[in-house]
Amino acid sequence: MHKILVEGIKVYAYHGCLEEEGRIGANYLVDVVMKTDFSLAAQTDDLTKTIDYVVVYEIIKRQMAIRSKLIEQVGQRIVDELKGAFQSIQELEVKVTKLNPPMNGNVERVSIVISA
């Protein structure tokens, strides 16, 4: 069994329940862990036999660009599209982190994690 991790994807997006979050936006980080079998890719050096990181990034970028009130919804959309794009994913974990959330307190980040 193998894992592919794409970590620290930095995105500026406009998610949140507050109206100003939709106008001002915020910084986000997305991390993805994909459990798969890339034995054939390792043997053949063939990109088509594994998960293309560029496609993973493009899926995340596209889903993060669609405004949602909740990062929970954004995370689920990312999970759904990744699983649809890569049938070889056996297990998947997506973490979406909002940096410096607008809260009445000193909070560095909030995150959601979806395992599928």
The residue annotated as part of the active site, out of 10, 35, 61, 98, is: 98
Q: Is 8 exposed, middle or buried (0-12, 13-18, 19+ CB in 10 A)?
A: exposed
35 belongs to the catalytic site: no
Q: Which amino acid is at 62?
A: R
> In terms of DSSP H, where are the helices of the chain?
19-24, 39-44, 53-64, 71-85
Residues serving a catalytic function are 98
